[in-house]
Amino acid sequence: MGDPRQRGWTEEFKREAVRLLSTSGRPVGEVAADLGVGKSTLTHWRRRLQETELLAGPHLDAEKELARLRRENEILRQERDLLKKATAFFGQGDKSMKFRLIDAEKATAPVPRLCSILGVSASGYYAWKGRIASRRQREDLILLAHIRGHFTCSNETYGSPRMHAELKAQGLSIGRHRVARLMRDNGLKALQKRRFKRTTDSQHTNPVAANLLEQDFTTTGPNQKWGSDISYIWTAEGWLYLAIVVDLYSRRIVGWAVGDRLKKELPMAALQRALVLRRPPPGLVQHSDRGSQYCSGAYQKMLRDADIAISMSGRGNCFDNSMVETVFKTLKAEMVWRTTFLTRQQAELALGRYIDSFYNPRRRHSALGYQSPCAFEAVA
């Protein structure tokens, strides 16, 4: 991305940096390091924008969202505390069992409820007092606790290959087949992707650029080739359209924007965010389909002004932009298709959390050696 400190920070960069910090939910230090700015600097920007914008008037929707997030944090805290207690019991030889934890906590909650939380039966608990689990069973319980935690964090989308990579990254010694068995036996099945429906308005008279990529998506580093596309999400208020810009090197979503109209301003907003945050060097190629939004004079002028080469797919060839469509498939299968959105704002908040808090910094991609986009770029 380059170091913005060598070229100065624009107000637009500061706003986008604070927006990324807000939507990602990641620690200030991580976001600051990712953007190449100081932690105290990013904190100062956020405080200043809060004083000038967030405190300018009442924000009922923001207050409701904050209350919801606080409830979620409280639930996560309770689950974390229970997991800590479980880990402590799991490390005590023959006492490292879920039933042992239930026995210790039964004074604070009914046994059936504790059994339900830990995924065991009450009859099994009462029968447990007369037998001792084997060492292998105790180890399975420890590993299963970790697997359940990562499965929840992945929004129930990780199968055994990604789960195995996640556990190895945490320093746990476990084989791929054992992970698959524990997930299968405990009903932890990753969600399957559905067929993706794609829409592009190519019936226009605007000029079309040549295909510079020719399905060659290989790169040697970030900011060499970008891909762009638009998709749609249904809400009770109507369609919400999502435009993204993806760095083909790491599959990272470097810019995104949403809107209720399928106009050229939508991909322009996503591109602007990518340009502000990444500041790509000359020579970057940006590829898209032949949609009217991407062929508009205003959009192509943005690219030329940034010294970006313009590339477009061939007529009716969906494979020319397949990498970006794959990102949409992942996003929809792991988040959109599993959720009923009552409002466009609700969908936008969910997209922000998924992209900036999970997909970019955490989600493991098989094509990247089961690394996340951020981690993959960090070693480039």
pLDDT for residue 317 is more than 70: no
Whether 92 has a pLDDT exceeding 60, the answer reads: no
253 and 285, same domain (yes or no):
yes
Dist CA 67 CA 84 (whole Å): 26
Residues 373 and 251 occupy one common structural domain: yes
Q: Residue 200: inside a domain, yes or no?
A: no
Residue 177 inside a domain? The answer is yes
193 inside domain: no
Tokens of 241: 């359209």
Q: What residues make up the domain containing 167?
A: 135-186
Query: Do 248 and 357 belong together in one domain?
Result: yes
265 and 159 within one domain: no
- Do 262 and 358 sit in the same domain of this protein? yes
Domain boundary among 105, 130, 155: 130
**Tens digits of per-residue pLDDT, 172-201?**
888 888 888 888 877 777 765 554 444 455
Residues 158 and 264 in one domain: no
Total of domains in the chain? 4
Q: What was the pLDDT predicted at 309?
A: 93
pLDDT at 3: 46
Give the chain's length: 380
Examine the domain organization and report whether 247 and 367 are in the same domain.
yes
**Is the domain of 232 the same as that of 372?**
yes
Averaged pLDDT, 139-160:
79
Residue 329 lies in a domain: yes
Model confidence pLDDT, tens digit, residues 23-60: 888 888 888 888 888 889 889 888 888 777 655 555 55
One domain, residues 158 and 105: no
Q: Are 14 and 22 in contact (CB under 8 A)?
A: no
pLDDT score at 93: 40
| Residue 77 placed within a domain | yes
Beta bridge partners, 245, equal: 228, 255
Mean pLDDT taken over the chain: 80
Q: Are residues 102 and 141 in the same domain?
A: no
| Closest of 299, 302, 312 to residue 276, by C-alpha | 302
Within a domain: 106: yes
List, for residues 268-307, the tens digit of each pLDDT value: 999 999 999 999 999 999 999 888 889 898 999 999 999 9
